[in-house]
Copies of this chain bind each other. A is one copy, B any other.
């Protein structure tokens, strides 16, 4: 079927179900960042392969919203279909609710698959559409009816993440969760986000690439826990372990029946941001609701001592892999050009050789020269660039290990650099240090601190169009909330034990891209009367190339930070390297 034919089939169904429009996006029932192929429904329907983007179809029109990263790609992929591209983020572009307000009438019936839309999404849309008496119909999954060879729900095996890695037993975690439930007088807690389930149960899976999750739901009550999952994923050993902790396995979709049975005396806690409409609307009307972020989010974000100790070892291994990669790069480029794809494979190979490595934590961004100016560039065999002995090569990569998750970006000078490239590299480094070296009062959020990284860039009228940093999981998503470092308002305090990246950058279209990224853990600094101060402690052990630095632009304090950082890097890695590698590292970590 062509895209237009698919849309006509969709419209036939819309008519049958009496819908005036239908919304589709690539989201799974758990609001995951990465989704299994089964849930790439918008991709199937529209042909647009980007990770984010909403398709809206009315009886006469269809439109797809894609953000700046995808303007060019979407234009290409939608070409030949009737779908009009809506460039999200431009001032002239209508938002989805504005477009719907214009293209529908009062009393309109809006269809969407309730399994993939959160309650919050639907209620926001409802609030913002200016038409009267609109109705949302969430019970049809029309793409499922049309998509003949739709992939199955992944059925990969789960594995245990034992307490020697996780730091806490399943029982300890559940006890803490129940304490929170008691505080809020809740009898039930619905957890539908896969990272929270994996963390709570100390298990991991392989259902989603880069993210070691198991497609499932969890329902915690005061005296028992139901784990809704395809049973074949859970082997006998795991099942037994879970049963010992009073956790019973139930079929993946049975959660709905259980929620329908709730009564007046029950109070159900769930997060409206991440719980889908199918789940929410199955909660018995008699039951009371408590709509707040689930408590595991914050518990999970604050890494425990064992996790932090393990993560340190994990980061040393990751640093070793990076150093070996950087040496390989330096040697190889002397002899021949290197493809971006080969370089990306190479860094994964070096990681693979490290103990407890499982998989990359995301698909590496391996970008030479002007390609690095595209923040989400992905090199493909057919149209990659080849690294030469000049300008910058940017590599953003990371690994999933039993003892942690890593994320690091280095921008590597491949040979001769222009004055501008050096200037931008130095400003980016200043931005990195200005935040990494800051102390802050306990209570400050990432949106309070974000500007510290931008200030050295803003002074020269430069900016980067993304956040400064994000939380990082522990054998979990490389992007993990609720904390982050961005200008967008958020109320999450940076707490002791939280991991965040700091990754300012400068991206000059058609020319070059620079980003310098380390992972940090938030630790306590001094206490002054009642004021607790906090600071960032570095967790990434890999040299930051000093060759492109214009030293005169750095303050004494900044030079000191860099020298201390490099002496620590050498200290941690040297004993794990051979003579030759150690000599290389000695040179790279030399005092500035």
Give residues 444-503 of A contacting B (CB, 8 Å): 444-445, 447-452, 454-455, 458-459, 461-463, 487, 489-491
Interface string of A93-134 (1 = CB under 8 A from B): 000000000000000000000000000000000000010000
A440 lies within 8 A of B452 (CB): no
Whether a CB of chain B sits under 8 angstroms from the CB of A526 is yes
Whether a CB of chain B sits under 8 angstroms from the CB of A82 is no
In angstroms, how far is the closest chain B Cβ from the Cβ of A478?
25
- The contact sample of 13 A-B pairs, CB cut-off 8 A, is A438-B459, A439-B458, A439-B459, A441-B458, A444-B451, A447-B448, A448-B448, A452-B455, A461-B525, A461-B533, A462-B531, A489-B489, A489-B491
In angstroms, how far is the closest chain B Cβ from the Cβ of A345?
35
A448-B525 CB under 8 A given contacts A458-B440, A458-B441, A461-B531: no
Interface string of A496-531 (1 = CB under 8 A from B): 000000000000000000000000000001101001
Whether a CB of chain B sits under 8 angstroms from the CB of A185 is yes
B531 lies within 8 A of A463 (CB): yes
6 A-B pairs closest in CB distance: A489-B489, A461-B528, A461-B526, A441-B463, A439-B458, A461-B533
Main secondary structure of the interface of A (DSSP, over half): mixed
Contacts beyond the supplied A441-B458, A448-B451: 4 A-B pairs with Cβ under 8 Å: A445-B487, A448-B448, A451-B451, A452-B452
List the B residue with the shortest CB-CB distance to A529. B509
Give residues 392-450 of A contacting B (CB, 8 Å): 438-441, 443-445, 447-450
A43 vs B450: C-alpha distance in the bound complex, in angstroms?
A: 43
A455 lies within 8 A of B438 (CB): yes
User: In the assembly, how many copies of this chain are there?
Assistant: 2
B contact residues around A130 at 8 Å (CB)? 185
A581 vs B451: C-alpha distance in the bound complex, in angstroms?
A: 42
Among B448, B452, B454, B525, which residue has its beta carbon within 8 angstroms of that of A441? B454
List the B residue with the shortest CB-CB distance to A444. B487
B contact residues around A458 at 8 Å (CB)? 438-441, 533
Interface string of A292-336 (1 = CB under 8 A from B): 000000000000000000000000000000000000000000000
B531 lies within 8 A of A487 (CB): no
Give residues 25-72 of A contacting B (CB, 8 Å): none
List the B residue with the shortest CB-CB distance to A534. B458
A463 vs B490: C-alpha distance in the bound complex, in angstroms?
A: 21
A185 vs B447: C-alpha distance in the bound complex, in angstroms?
A: 34
A17 vs B577: C-alpha distance in the bound complex, in angstroms?
A: 82
B contact residues around A445 at 8 Å (CB)? 487, 489
B contact residues around A448 at 8 Å (CB)? 447-448, 450-451, 487
A528 lies within 8 A of B489 (CB): no
B438 lies within 8 A of A489 (CB): no
A449 lies within 8 A of B447 (CB): no
B contact residues around A459 at 8 Å (CB)? 438-439
B contact residues around A441 at 8 Å (CB)? 454, 458, 463
B462 lies within 8 A of A451 (CB): no
A443 vs B463: C-alpha distance in the bound complex, in angstroms?
A: 12
List the B residue with the shortest CB-CB distance to A526. B461
List the B residue with the shortest CB-CB distance to A486. B448
B contact residues around A463 at 8 Å (CB)? 441, 531
List the B residue with the shortest CB-CB distance to A509. B529
B526 lies within 8 A of A447 (CB): no
B contact residues around A451 at 8 Å (CB)? 440, 444, 448-449, 451-452
A454 vs B452: C-alpha distance in the bound complex, in angstroms?
A: 11
List the B residue with the shortest CB-CB distance to A185. B130
A441 vs B489: C-alpha distance in the bound complex, in angstroms?
A: 16
